[in-house]
Amino acid sequence: MPRTRRRPGLRTLLTALLAGLTPLLAALLLAVPSAHAASLTEVTGFGANPSNLRMYVYRPDSAPVRPAVLVAVHYCTGSGPAFYSGTEFASLADRYGFLVIYPSATRSGGCFDVSSPQALKRGGGSDPVGIMSMVTYAQQHYGADPARVFVTGASSGAMMTNVLLGDYPDVFKAGAAFMGVPFGCFATTDGSEWNSACANGTVIRTPQQWGDLARGAYPGYNGPRPRMQVWHGTDDTTLRYPNFGEEIKQWTDVLGVSQTPAFTDHPQSTWTRTRYGGTGTQAPVEAVSIQGTGHTLPTSGMAARAISFFGLDSTTTQPPTDPPTTPPARACRVAYTTSAWNTGLTASITVTNTGTAPIDGWALAFTLPAGQTITSGWNATFSPTSGAVTARNVAYNSTLAPGASTTLGFQANHTGNTGSPASFTLNGAACQVN
DSSP 397: G
The reported pLDDT for the residue numbered 145 is: 96
Nearest to 247 by CA among 387, 75, 414: 387
Mean pLDDT of all residues belonging to the chain: 88
pLDDT at 314 over 50: yes
Helix (H) or strand (E) holding 162: helix 156-167
The reported pLDDT for the residue numbered 37 is: 65
Residue 415 near residue 386, CB atoms below 8 Å: no
Residue 259 near residue 421, CB atoms below 8 Å: no
Residue 315 near residue 196, CB atoms below 8 Å: no
Strand order in the sheet with 373-378: 373-378, 405-413, 344-353, 332-341, 432-433
pLDDT in tens, 62-78: 999 999 999 999 999 99
pLDDT in tens, 12-23: 433 433 334 333
| Distance, CA of 318 to chain centre | 17
**pLDDT > 90 in the chain, percent:** 74
DSSP 152: E
DSSP conformation letters of 65-80: SS--EEEEEPPTT--H
pLDDT at 5 over 70: no
CA dihedral 430, 204, 171, 82 (to 10 degrees): -100
Could you give the 3-state DSSP secondary structure of residue 5?
A: coil
Residue 393 near residue 404, CB atoms below 8 Å: no
DSSP 184: T
Q: How many CB atoms sit inside 10 A of residue 31's CB? A: 7
Q: Which residues are catalytic?
A: 155
Query: Rounded distance, CA 190 to CA 116, Å?
Result: 9
pTM score, whole prediction: 0.67
Residue 363 near residue 267, CB atoms below 8 Å: no
Strand ranges (E), 310-387: 332-341, 344-353, 359-360, 363-367, 373-378, 381-383
pLDDT at 253 over 90: yes
Q: Which residue has the higher pLDDT, 40 or 30?
A: 40
pLDDT at 177 over 80: yes
